[in-house]
Chains A and B, each alone.
Chain A
Amino acid sequence: MFLAASLLLGAALFSIGCFGVLTRRNAVLVMMAVELMLAGVLVNLVAFSAWHANTIGQVFALFVVGIAAAEVGVGLAIVMMIARERRSAEVNRFEEMTG
């Protein structure tokens, strides 16, 4: 029972995170939504680890956390630099890739 519920939770967190990534106008908030997505992944991993009753899932989860941390650090540094240049962190202002 727990497994199914955990998977549902993971799916929910992930979807909400997606929504946030696609919708938020502030770059930092987008990154927060990304963290939500990663949290959903963690839930999945831990749930499966419990289901299999071995530690592989947790190890994987550890690595995910580590990567998330690295990503947040670098990402926020970038965002800060851009915000400094453009005096704004608004996502919609970055339209250089327009076709």
Chain B
Amino acid sequence: MVAQILFAAFAAVAVVSALRVVLAKDAARAAFALVLSLGVLGPLFLLLRAEFSAVVQLIVYVGAVVVLFVFVIMLTSNPEDPQDAQVSSSVKGVAPAVLAAIGLFAVVSFAALDTFGESQIGNTQPGDLVVLGRDLLTKQLFAFEVMSVLLLAALIGALAMARRN
């Protein structure tokens, strides 16, 4: 009972914040809304007994990615043109996107409810970290290594691009 209320609360916060992210007139406000939105997902994962994911979410996503965003906003914001954070002004420009988004949501939720409406979560125990670690380093080793290489490439790439000459 408590879990359900908590879940609903977290979900609501996430959605509202997400809306703020896409609708805020201010880049900074949008960034902080993103923090909130992504941040509240962490406890939500805990409710789903995915402890590892919750922690990863908080550390990596909120702690690094969004921070990066804040930095970039700081560096690229242009005092002469405060309008450039805005959504496009005319209704005509927005309408198709709105419709598309709503349509997409409708389709996906309909599909989800149709298929999994009656299902129950089977996870009643805390997730086994040992198993996860073992999986990572045995069964999913290849993907793990590739990921490492990817991160390295991204790092080098970003460095190369950001250099001043």
Contact = CB atoms under 8 A, between A and B. Distances in A.
Q: Do A and B bind each other?
A: yes
B39 to A, nearest CB: 10
B30 A29 contact: yes
Interface string B2-45: 01100110010011001101100001001100100110010011
A78 B159 CA distance: 11
- Interface of A, helix, strand, loop or mixed by DSSP: helix
Size class of B's contact patch? Answer: 35 or more
A84 to B, nearest CB: 8
23 contacts: A2-B4, A3-B116, A4-B113, A5-B11, A7-B108, A11-B109, A13-B37, A18-B100, A24-B87, A28-B72, A32-B34, A53-B122, A59-B135, A62-B136, A63-B147, A66-B150, A67-B150, A69-B60, A73-B158, A79-B76, A80-B75, A88-B84, A90-B84
Interface of B: 3-4, 7-8, 11, 14-15, 18-19, 21-22, 27, 30-31, 34, 37-38, 41, 44-45, 47-50, 52-53, 56-57, 60-61, 64-66, 68-69, 72-73, 75-76, 78, 81, 84-88, 93-94, 96-98, 100-102, 104-105, 108-109, 112-113, 116-117, 119-123, 127-128, 131-132, 135-136, 140, 143, 147, 150-151, 153-155, 157-158, 161-162
